[in-house]
Amino acid sequence: MIFIILIVSAVAMAFLFVLSQKKWQETLSFVFAAFFLLSIGLIVANFNQHFGMEQVVHSQTVDLVSSVEQQDTEALLYKPLGNGTERVYLYKTAAMEKPQSTGGQQVKNDVSQDAEQAQLTTKRTEWVYKNNFYRLLFGFSGNNHEFIEQENQFNLPSNWQLLSTEN
So what's the pLDDT on residue 54? 97
Per-residue pLDDT tens over the stretch 40-95: 999 999 999 999 999 999 999 999 999 988 778 899 999 988 887 788 999 999 89
So what's the pLDDT on residue 166? 83
Mean pLDDT of 161-167: 85
So what's the pLDDT on residue 150? 96
CB atoms within 10 A of CB 16: 19
d(CA 5, CA 138) in angstroms, rounded, equals 11
- Asked if 126 and 147 touch (Cβ cutoff 8 Å), the reply is yes
- Asked if 54 and 135 touch (Cβ cutoff 8 Å), the reply is no
What's phi and psi for 76, nearest 5 deg? -115, 125
Per-residue pLDDT tens over the stretch 26-40: 889 999 999 999 999
Per-residue pLDDT tens over the stretch 7-27: 999 999 988 888 878 888 888
d(CA 35, CA 129) in angstroms, rounded, equals 22
d(CA 48, CA 29) in angstroms, rounded, equals 29
DSSP collapsed to 3 states, 97-116:
CCCEECCCCCEEEEEECCCC
Using DSSP bridges, classify how beta strands 161-164 and 75-81 pair: parallel, antiparallel or unpaired. Answer: parallel
Per-residue pLDDT tens over the stretch 124-154: 999 999 999 999 999 888 889 999 999 999 9
Mean pLDDT of 154-158: 95
Mean pLDDT of 98-113: 89
Q: What rounded mean pLDDT belongs to the chain?
A: 91
So what's the pLDDT on residue 132? 95
Q: Model-level pTM? A: 0.79
So what's the pLDDT on residue 167? 64
d(CA 165, CA 162) in angstroms, rounded, equals 10
So what's the pLDDT on residue 138? 93
- Asked if 115 and 61 touch (Cβ cutoff 8 Å), the reply is no
